[in-house]
Chains A and B, each alone.
Chain A
Amino acid sequence: MSSTQKNTITQVHWQPLTKLLAPSGKKQQALVGFDDEFIDIVDYIIRITHRIWEQKNVGLCYDYYGEVCPVFTLGGYSECVEQVVQNTLKTIAAFPDRSLIGENVIWKEEEDKTYYSSHLITSIMTNTGNSDFGVATNNTGRVTTIADCVCFENKIIKEWLVRDNSFLIAQLGIDLIDAAINFAQLNPNETFKQWYLDEFDRVRATKHRTPLTLTSEDWTTEHFVKSWAQTLFNQKQFSTLNDFYHVAAAHQWPGGRKSTGLAQISGTLIQWLAQCPDAKMTIDHTAVVGFDEDTIDIAIRWSVAGTYSPHLQRLATLKGNRFFVLACTHMRVKNKKIIKEVTVFDEISLYANIIRESGMSLPQLAQGA
């Protein structure tokens, strides 16, 4: 895939919601087995999300999710539509005014006739009910979510869901480690535990020393993404940031890490990676669509695994435990350089998994930590 790409499918960026909910264009994709009303996969994702979440028709999950639908998150695993319905209802109850503002949908038509969609969402929500984070705070917060879905014949049949929970709780007034200690007390099912171990081993097997240089002549999206992962995350070659990022690139990472330009981005990556200095990264899925004449949007699902080296004093006793992250990134690339990046993963679950695996009982702030 080159650094430019024509795209006639629905683009969310400049569309008013009224037009997105009542598309007037012709059908753009075959969408075999999908309801006739949908003109393309972006339209499908935007409208079913609006119906389920903003109109609160939770029962529509039965129409738009497969009976068996594995949903992977860093905090747990669910497998059937009943769990999707129940989790949706619980979240709406704790955050009744939750809005889901679709920022972008990056998609790919797969060889097995499924559609892969990566949906970047901003939500505004007020925490009026008790939740897994703790008791209701009555504060309003903003959170970024990326939902990567496999869609087939009008249904989502597999999903990877990541949410920037650490940024959300910072606005709600909840301490990150306290929340992680609460999450660690939840007992995920056996499928999650096995998936977590399998994924950790898979990512650790990556050959991280192989150089993967990037030149203008052999530039493809796939090569760019693999080189981004190998050079920056696996080999920690931060002086090459200029090969990947524009000098004024905007960079958003979980927990309120907002950077502009190479110096700040370098600082963010170095400080984050320092808590897992032997980190290895794998690129697990890539999708790319055109944005405008010289700009493309890339969605990446990736994983990082390594050994935890605590940067927070409260977690110092957890040194040496498994460190595993499931993450998604949306990047806008212009003239072969990233001009904007949004990366999302759940830092609460990241630390909760480390705490739970350690078997240790850590005190919360209220207990004198």
Chain B
Amino acid sequence: MFNELIELYTKGDTNKLSSKLLHSSAWKQHDFTAYGDMQTEKLWLKSLEQFGFLTLTKQLAVQGSSYSSIYFELSDNEGKSVSVTCFFEHNNLHIKRLHCIIDTLGLSKLMDKTAEQIVAQLPAADPLLLSQFDHQLHPQSYHAMPVDVCEMPQGINDVVTQWWSIWQDKQFANIENVYQPKAEINIAGFDSSEGLTALRTFQLKLHNRMNRSYCQLENICFDRQQNTVAVQWHVDGDYLDSGEIKRIRIPVLSLLSIDNNAIIEEQLQVDWLAICKNFNLTHPFV
């Protein structure tokens, strides 16, 4: 199904991908969930208008048994690019639910548009009603760990568990343990591959921009052939925006490539402008 997804954007092959969807398939993009041909097709056509028919320049795939994920970059002749990550539930014949995250900050550079101009083009997000909850990791409380959502070999599970601890426990010391020193790390919206220091700085800024930030695992898929892992997760928190506190949720897809019990590549995908639109936040986010 990876080819069908890529060819939607590189060739505009809507028929091939449509044949992989069910009447009840859901396609979430820019934090808006589309159901049925009418809504899904509208999202596709807008994407084709914005970044269709470019050249595939990079991909990282995670082929799982019932969930799979793919990250890919599409570039124009001037070397400007946009990245797309899809995480989806499937039965090898059809896709049931797909979450697509587009790097909209990269898209604004590709299209030579301001962030505000891109925000104006995005669909209205699903109206979420985010609950207040106790975000603390009490000794007797239960919080999802990688082992709870995906069966992986011990060595891979150890790496992913340490990686998750960086986010959930804010255990920054794990960064040096879990990443290879020259790991390629790309954070959506930021200049590519700035390494471990940039990752640490980004995480600190993200958490410090919010009160009561809490990271929740949703799903993980694992590719035994490639030793790649895709993690679907989100951050909830109280965002401090010009003196006002806004309850927000940041959906994230992280694709990890692991070698010799260390992460050698991470693609961290966030649709920053969709979040700005959804929660009426000022840009830049961090």
Q: Indicate which residue in B38, B96, B143 contacts A261 across the interface (CB closer than 8 Å).
A: B143
Of all chain A residues, the one with the shortest Cβ separation from B38 is: A124
Q: Does B141 contact A (CB under 8 A)?
A: yes
Please provide the chain B residues from 85 to 99 with a CB less than 8 Å away from any CB of chain A in the complex.
91, 93-94, 96
Q: Which one of A103, A247, A259, A266 lies within 8 Å of B144 (CB-CB)?
A: A247
| Cβ contacts under 8 Å, A247 to chain B | 142-145, 148
Which one of B129, B134, B218, B219 contacts A263 once the chains associate, using CB atoms below 8 Å? B134
Are B96 and A13 in contact, with the CB atoms below 8 A?
yes
CB-CB under 8 A for A271 and B131, given A12-B24, A17-B22, A262-B142: yes
| Chain A residues within 8 Å of B135, by CB | 263
Task: Return B57 CB to nearest CB of chain A, in Å.
Answer: 33
Tell me the count of chain B residues lying within 8 A, CB to CB, of chain A: 38
* A242 CA / B142 CA spacing, docked (Å): 7
Give the docked Cα–Cα distance between A271 and B247 (Å). 15
A99 to B5, CA, bound (A): 25
CB within 8 Å of A: which B223-250 residues: 234, 236
Segment with Cβ contacts to B, from A58-66, A87-95, A190-198, A249-257: A249-257
CB pair A124 B142 closer than 8 Å: no
Contact A248 B217 (CB under 8 A): yes
CB contacts under 8 Å to A, within B131-172, are: 131-135, 140-145, 148-149
Is B284 in contact with chain A by the CB < 8 A criterion? no
Asked whether any CB of chain B lies closer than 8 Å to the CB of A134, the reply is: no
Least CB separation from A257: chain B residue? B129
Cβ of B257 to closest chain A Cβ, rounded Å:
23
Cα A124 to Cα B91 with chains together (Å): 25
* B91, B94, B133, B149 — most chain A CB neighbours (10 Å): B133
Note all chain A residues with C-beta closer than 8 A to B128. 256-258
Q: Are B144 and A248 in contact (CB under 8 A)?
A: yes
B47-79 at interface with A (beta carbon < 8 Å): none
B129 touching A255, Cβ below 8 Å: yes
Is the Cβ of B216 less than 8 Å from the Cβ of A263?
yes
Q: Does any Cβ of A come within 8 Å of B126's Cβ?
A: yes
Quote the shortest CB–CB distance from B108 to chain A (angstroms).
26
User: Cα distance A170–B129 when bound, in Å?
Assistant: 10
With A99-B36, A258-B128 known to touch, is A267 a contact of B218 (CB < 8 Å)?
no
A330 to chain B, nearest CB (A): 13
Contact of B148 among A20, A99, A246 (CB under 8 A): A246
Given contacts A17-B22, A247-B142, A258-B128, A263 and B217 within 8 Å (CB-CB): no
Other-chain contact of B22, A14, A255, A267 (Cβ < 8 Å): A14
**Interface size classification for chain A:** 35 or more
Give the distance in Å from the alpha carbon of A122 to the alpha carbon of B27 in the complex: 13
B35 touches A122 (CB 8 A): yes
Does B144 contact A124, Cβ atoms closer than 8 Å?
Answer: no
Distance A170 CA – B24 CA, assembled complex (angstroms): 22
Kindly provide the distance from the CB of B29 to the nearest chain A CB, expressed in whole angstroms: 14
A306 at the interface (CB under 8 A from B): no
Task: Kindly state the separation between the CA atoms of A9 and B205 in the bound complex, as whole angstroms.
Answer: 53
Query: How many angstroms from the CA of A260 to the CA of B144 in the assembled complex?
Result: 10
| Contact present for A266 and B36 (CB under 8 Å) | no
Given the interface pairs A102-B24, A171-B127, A263-B143, the reply to whether A248 lies near B218 with Cβ below 8 Å is yes
The distance in angstroms between the C-alpha atoms of A268 and B134, with both chains bound, is: 11
Complex Cα–Cα for A247 and B33 (A) = 24
Q: Is A15 an interface residue (CB 8 A)?
A: yes
A260-B218 in contact (CB<8A):
yes
Assuming the contacts A15-B22, A248-B218, asked whether A266 and B129 have C-beta atoms less than 8 A apart, the reply is no
Kindly state whether residue A214 has any CB partner on chain B within 8 Å.
Answer: no
Distance of A352 Cα from B236 Cα, bound (Å): 32
Contacts of A259 in B (CB 8 A): 131
- Interface check A142, CB cutoff 8 A: yes
Complex Cα distance, B141 from A101, in Å, reads 37
| Alpha-carbon gap, A358 to B126, bound state (A) | 33
Q: Nearest residue in A to B42 (C-beta to C-beta)?
A: A140
Contacts of B144 in A (CB 8 A): 247-248, 261
Chain B, 245-283, CB within 8 A of any chain A CB: none
Give 10 A-B pairs besides A248-B144, A262-B141 with Cβ atoms closer than 8 angstroms: A14-B91, A101-B23, A167-B127, A170-B127, A256-B129, A261-B217, A262-B142, A268-B131, A270-B133, A271-B132
